[in-house]
Amino acid sequence: MKIKKMQDLNKLKKSGEQQLFPSGIKITVGLATCGIARGADKVHDAFKKELQKQKVKATVVPVGCSGWCSREPIVNIIIPRMPKITLGDVSEDDIPGIVRNLKNRHIPESKILYRTDAEENIADGRVRKYASASQAATSGKIPAYGTLPLFKKQKKIALRNCGLINPADIQEYVARGGFKAAYSAVTGMKPEKIITEVQRSGLRGRGGAGFPVGKKWEMARQAEGKKKYIICNADEGDPGAYMDRSILEGDPFSVLEGMIIAAFSIGASEGYIYVRGEYPLAVKQVTKAILQAKRSGLLGRNMFGTDFSFNVNVEKGAGAFVCGEETALIASIEGYSGEPVPRPPYPVEKGLWGLPTCINNVETLANIPVVLSRGGTWFSRIGTGKSKGTKIFSLVGAVERVGLVEVPMGISLKEIVYDIGGGIAGGRKLKAVQTGGPSGGCIPKRLADISVDYESLTKAGSIMGSGGMIVMDDRTCMVDVAKYFMSFLKDESCGKCLPCREGTQAVFEILDRITRGRGRTKDIEQLKDVCEAMSQASMCALGKTAANPVLSTLRYFGKEYDEHIKKRRCSAGVCSALIRFSINADKCIGCEACRKACPCEAVSGKPRKMHKISVKKCIKCRACYEVCPVKAVEIR
């Protein structure tokens, strides 16, 4: 059926709602990449098999990622008139037991993470109840969704449907209010009016630089060209960030709807989604979504019975970080090596095949339908003065609860790390938080009160970036972190312009020297000189921001550089040339774990006797350190 009128959309919504809230039992399994890596696909298949075997009637539906990545595989069980129950760390072996209990509408408690009594649909502000208040009260022992520290401070706009709907079913997206904004926009709004609304929302680009979205659309609208393009930048290259993958895998229609609205506003007739090749599942889901949308008339000619036509193609990246840069991305779609070209002209004036092209990031586009359905003013009430709305962060590294979190701008870094993330894992101490990937920096613990918004992060020498948030504890060496990013950048620079190509190489070599204990005092000055040249004279943003990881660590962890250079020491115990492994005689229990783990026979010792590490043979691979059950292996 092709959607032409509001009634058609409502019909689709109805059938979608029946799927979201069926009359029978429903089981959903989070089948995004992280879940699958933890065996969620096996859990999904086991449910199907076991339900059949035990003759229990229930539907099993794949959904996207719900964000609590450390507890994957995650399963939701929806029994009519009962709170929705979310289970974590579910394994294949658990399934027969879970299914057996389902017959009695019972869920074994051991794997329960939380319950959901009601859900707000942010797209229309309406609340849908799973259970009545009395039913909810009876499940008092199980924590409710909103009371968990992980979720309490979150506000999900871009991630509104992830983990809730089947990403491969357009009806479920429509049931959550999907395509209503696109319908209203295309059938009843003037493009200028939409752009004004987006400007009013204060929404800024979520890909890194934070350029105002409404402004970009306005420029693209005003640009002249016989054809215009809209590109969704899904070349999520920042190491440590995976929100765009999660959205594309869990809610691809939200991005498509955002693209439709953008295309209509700027006057584009064709769109591209440029997805990283390293994300095969995202490519698959978004390709499926496009097909379904086309079948329903939500892409293609004369959409909603108007004369607006729009189509979307998927382009798969071939492995080049620099292609996240707009002009390099365009070169890549055109079939060239991903080399940036000088701007101006900007892509909004002269982009793909020389025509006006508006490039927006995945998360940005996923926000658009809500901005329109709830209004720009509503959106602008969330966040800070200049940073509106929410931002998704991948909270990873040395934090207790790793996962994907969406928080209002202006929340403090501390709240994210401690309240949401549950603090540092293993009782260690926070050292720094890295944001913004290779273009960002490391924010030290003493600035943990910093407000997370575009301006504050930039002021602190980092950037918002695409949302990677890597928490580092006291075992992380900041010189090593800077070297890590520079090693990344020297390989991923396209190599076209001198400051970036030679600068990243020179900085890497200096840092490498320092981490090997061959640093010199004047190295710091040289690092600063090259960093200045890179940031001032590079052609594109990759080179212009390449200095940030070095400058921010120099600024906050200068002592650590000094220690490496002057004392030839790495107190974090990371730089292998500067450390030694030894076994503490008082702690060693002679369990032989280290001896067995050592790949180069550097550990000697008899069972139940103290072991020793030969400094000569040791290659400092840390294998012994990792396996010792009593922490007797020490690094000095």
Partner 1 sequence: MDEGTKTIIDKLIKKHKPGENAVVSIFQDVQEQQGYLSEDAIRYVSEKLEIPVSRAFSVATFYSAFSLTPLGRNRVHVCLGTACHIKGADNIAGRISRQLKIKPGETTGDRKFSLHKVRCLGCCALAPVVKVNDDTYAGVSQDQVVSVLEKYR
Partner 2 sequence: MTMCNITLNGKKTKFLPGKTILENTRDHGVKIPVLCSHEALKPYGACRLCIVEIEEQGRKQIVTSCNSHVRDGMKIKTHSPRVQKIRKTLVELLLARTPEAAVEQQLARDIGVKATPYPEQGELCIMCGQCVRTCREIVGACALDFVHKGSKRSVAVPFFRDSKECIGCGSCVFVCPTGVVSMHDEISDVRGEPERIMDKWETRLPLQKCSSDGNVFATRRMLEHFARKHEVSEGFLETCSHCLRKGNTK
Q: Which spans of this chain sit near partner 2 (rule: CB under 8 A)? A: 320, 322, 337, 339, 342, 489-499, 501-506, 509-510, 522, 526, 529-530, 532-533, 536-539
Q: Are strands 403-408 and 390-397 parallel, antiparallel or unpaired?
A: antiparallel
Residue 385 touching partner 1 (CB under 8 A): no
Residue number, 532 or 634, with CB nearest to partner 2: 532
Q: How many other CB atoms sit within 10 Å of the CB of residue 242?
A: 25
Stretch near partner 1 under the rule CB under 8 A, chosen from 77-85, 366-374, 399-407, 519-527: 399-407
Stretch near partner 1 under the rule CB under 8 A, chosen from 96-104, 201-209, 312-320, 511-519: 312-320
User: End-to-end CA distance of the chain, in Å?
Assistant: 69
- Contact between 127 and 120 under an 8 Å Cβ cutoff? The reply is yes
Output phi, psi for 77, to 5 deg.
Answer: -120, 120
Q: Are strands 430-435 and 468-473 parallel, antiparallel or unpaired?
A: antiparallel
Query: Among partner 2, partner 1, none, what binds residue 509 when CB lies within 5 to 8 Å by partner kind?
Result: partner 2
Query: Among partner 1, partner 2, none, what binds residue 192 when CB lies within 5 to 8 Å by partner kind?
Result: none
Per-residue binding string, partner 1, 315-334, x by CB under 8 A, is: xxxxxxx----------xxx
Query: Among partner 2, partner 1, none, what binds residue 583 when CB lies within 5 to 8 Å by partner kind?
Result: none
CB of 316 to partner 1, least distance (A): 6
Per-residue binding string, partner 1, 35-54, x by CB under 8 A, is: -xxx----------------
Q: How far apart are CA 579 and CA 613, in angstroms?
A: 13
Q: Each residue of 34-69: b (16+ CB within 10 Å) or e?
A: bbbebebeebbebbeebbeeeebebebbbbbbbbbb
Residue type, 454: Y
Residue type, 91: S
Q: How many other CB atoms sit within 10 Å of the CB of residue 263?
A: 28
**In terms of Cα–Cα distance, which of 476, 538, 472 is closest to 507?**
538
- Contact between 425 and 446 under an 8 Å Cβ cutoff? The reply is no
Q: Which ranges of 21-168 would DSSP assign to H, the alpha helix?
A: 33-37, 40-53, 95-102, 133-138, 149-152
Q: How far apart are CA 276 and CA 282, in angstroms?
A: 9
- Contact between 238 and 278 under an 8 Å Cβ cutoff? The reply is no
CB of 218 to partner 2, least distance (A): 21
Query: Among partner 1, partner 2, none, what binds residue 109 when CB lies within 5 to 8 Å by partner kind?
Result: none
Stretch near partner 1 under the rule CB under 8 A, chosen from 17-25, 213-221, 304-312, 484-492: 484-492
Residue 159 touching partner 1 (CB under 8 A): no
Residue 213 touching partner 1 (CB under 8 A): no
Output phi, psi for 567, to 5 deg.
Answer: -95, -5
> What is the torsional sign of CA 603, 605, 611, 615?
negative
Q: How far apart are CA 357 and CA 433, in angstroms?
A: 35
Residue 238 touching partner 1 (CB under 8 A): yes
Query: Among partner 2, partner 1, none, what binds residue 318 when CB lies within 5 to 8 Å by partner kind?
Result: partner 1
Q: How far apart are CA 522 and CA 374, in angstroms?
A: 56
- Contact between 178 and 23 under an 8 Å Cβ cutoff? The reply is no
Q: How far apart are CA 283 and CA 273, in angstroms?
A: 9
CB of 340 to partner 2, least distance (A): 10
Q: How far apart are CA 324 and CA 330, in angstroms?
A: 10
Stretch near partner 1 under the rule CB under 8 A, chosen from 117-125, 152-160, 230-238, 551-559: 230-238
- Under DSSP, the state recorded for 79 is -
- Axis-axis angle for helices 548-562, 523-537 (nearest 10): 170
Residue 517 touching partner 1 (CB under 8 A): no
Residue 112 bridge partners (DSSP): 87
Residue of 257, 325, 492, 560 interacting with partner 1 (CB under 8 A):
492
Binding footprint of partner 1, residue count (CB under 8 A):
62
Q: Which residue has the tokens 């990344």?
A: 488
Stretch near partner 1 under the rule CB under 8 A, chosen from 172-180, 381-389, 531-539, 617-625: 617-625
Residue of 20, 29, 34, 514 interacting with partner 1 (CB under 8 A):
34
Query: Among partner 1, partner 2, none, what binds residue 621 when CB lies within 5 to 8 Å by partner kind?
Result: partner 1
CB of 520 to partner 2, least distance (A): 10
CB of 277 to partner 1, least distance (A): 5
Query: Among partner 1, partner 2, none, what binds residue 626 when CB lies within 5 to 8 Å by partner kind?
Result: partner 1
Q: Give, for 625, the enclosing helix (H) or strand (E).
A: helix 623-627
Query: Among partner 2, partner 1, none, what binds residue 291 when CB lies within 5 to 8 Å by partner kind?
Result: none
CB of 153 to partner 1, least distance (A): 19
Residue 336 touching partner 1 (CB under 8 A): yes
Concatenated DSSP letters of 281-301: HHHHHHHHHHHHHHHTTSSBS
> Structure tokens of 93?
């072996």
Residue number, 120 or 334, with CB nearest to partner 1: 334
CB of 139 to partner 1, least distance (A): 28
Residue number, 434 or 456, with CB nearest to partner 1: 434
CB of 523 to partner 2, least distance (A): 9
Residue number, 474 or 512, with CB nearest to partner 2: 512
Query: Among partner 2, partner 1, none, what binds residue 526 when CB lies within 5 to 8 Å by partner kind?
Result: partner 2
Residues of the shown chain interacting with partner 1 in the complex, contacts defined by CB under 8 A: 33-34, 36-38, 69-70, 72, 236-242, 245, 276-280, 315-321, 332-338, 394, 396-398, 402-404, 434, 437, 468, 470, 472, 476, 481, 484-485, 488, 492, 494, 597, 599, 619, 621-623, 626-627
